Amino acid sequence: MNLRAILHIIAISLMAFSFASCSNETKTTSKLLMDSELKTTHIETVVFGLGCFWGAEKRFSQLPGVVDVISGYADGVGVNADYKTITQRKNRFNPNNHAEVIQVSYNPDQVSLTVLLQDFFEQHDPTQLNQQGNDIGTQYRSIILVADQAQITLAENVAAQYQTLLTEAGLGQITTQIKLIDTFYPAEEYHQDYLVKNPNGYCPDHSTGVVFSPADKVEKKDNSPILTGQHIVVIDSEFCPYCDKFKADVSNDYQGSIPMHFRRASQLDGLTITSPTWATPTILFMENGVEKFGIQGYVNATQFYKALGYFKLGNSEAFNVAFTEGTDSRFCKQYEIFKNTPDGLFIDKVSGAALFDTRDRFDSGTGWLSFTKAIDDSVYYKQDNRFGMKRLEIRAKKSDIHLGHKFNDGPNGQPRYCINATVLEFKARS
């Protein structure tokens, strides 16, 4: 099975997810007033447009001092403030179209408008005109909408400071519009807290990596170890629920032999990357510092390990056994190596999880590795009625690879776990 086929299998199992079709519905502004404590607190608001509002809402909502964030529309003239209208073809490049924006309510005693403005510039690429990455059109324009002239002056000063930093970094001119707010229209309800409601997908990160304070700049990473051998690089972001989900579902329990590294998009110096780096998470499979292939967006454990399996095993007998439910040849080379190992554990060749113990191994004379049991909670079973037989298939719980079959003809009435040696690695007991 070639790489194109593997990636196609992975891709069709992922949710169709496009930030270019960022959709929208109504969240009432009464949320802020429902909290009686806030009624007596001095709360101010500012409106930001920095591309698709899903990720912007999530990131700003997690900043200290921010009380509430609402997705919505603003700065349009003669255009209805709803998603159906602003996404019509005729309005895509209409300068009077509404922008996708967020209304940020904050406590100025806890966070200043200056800090919020700095975060605004740092969280996207303000040099892009009517665009953020693949999201193209006037609805995605970079814009700041404030309450009075003093705030306009403040925003212009922060923008000038950021322009100096961008110029020093060799980047272009800021296109951000700075205006007085007229009317803010809350978006449709299904857009509010969108990333919380929809746990699959990826978060767009269009930030330039240029920050205001040197102390807050993204830490440089030593990528020299990635330049030799096989490695996995995961591009993540500080405020990305899909990254958190990938860590919880996959990487926190990863035990594989290929090292996994987490990097921000601005921490890839020295690596040869061909995939876009603005979507998080993006999983890159690297060899000698060069990307072999990558996957944008969240993937679950089964999808990740299938991609990793192809990366590690290639178009081999082991891959065929693990992912297309093939079978080792009797008395294969790997079997001859593994049938008389020292005391230790047999581990999943893909995930690194322990599966079988040499203390449960026995010689069945069949030409396949045989065990009386698996390590607790390491495998699961499926009925296999292929080839006119009724068998119980054994699969690795973590990576979901095919291991073999379970029979009832083991020694002293015990089961016989008939296991393919090519999908295993051996680790001596320490």
Active site residue 22: no
Q: How many CB atoms lie within 10 A of CB 238?
A: 14
Bond from prior residue into 411 cis (ω within 30 degrees of 0): no
Count CA atoms within 13 Å of residue 175 on its CB side. 18
Is residue 285 a contact partner of residue 350, using CB atoms and an 8 Å limit? no
CA distances to 194, 199, 321, 361, 393 from 403, rounded to whole Å, are: 39, 31, 8, 15, 8
Residue 250 to residue 398: CA distance in whole angstroms: 9
Is residue 316 a contact partner of residue 269, using CB atoms and an 8 Å limit? no
Contacts (Cβ under 8 Å, ≥6 apart) of 393: 325, 381, 382, 383, 384, 402, 404, 405, 406
The string over 270-309, giving b where at least 16 C-beta atoms fall within 10 Å of a residue's C-beta and e elsewhere, is ebebeeebbbbbbbbbbeebebebbbbbbbebebbbbbbb
Q: How many CB atoms lie within 10 A of CB 210?
A: 20
Query: Catalytic: which of 52, 240, 243, 418?
Result: 52
Helices first, then strands: H and E counts in the chain: 12, 23
Helix (H) or strand (E) holding 180: strand 177-180
Residue 108 corresponds to which tokens in the numbers above? 């100025």
State which amino acid sits at residue 332.
C
Is residue 144 a contact partner of residue 48, using CB atoms and an 8 Å limit? yes
Is residue 368 a contact partner of residue 418, using CB atoms and an 8 Å limit? yes
Helix pair angle (301-313, 3-12), 10° resolution: 180
Residue 58 to residue 303: CA distance in whole angstroms: 26
Q: Is 380 helix (H, G, I), strand (E, B) or coil?
A: strand
Q: Which residues are catalytic?
A: 52
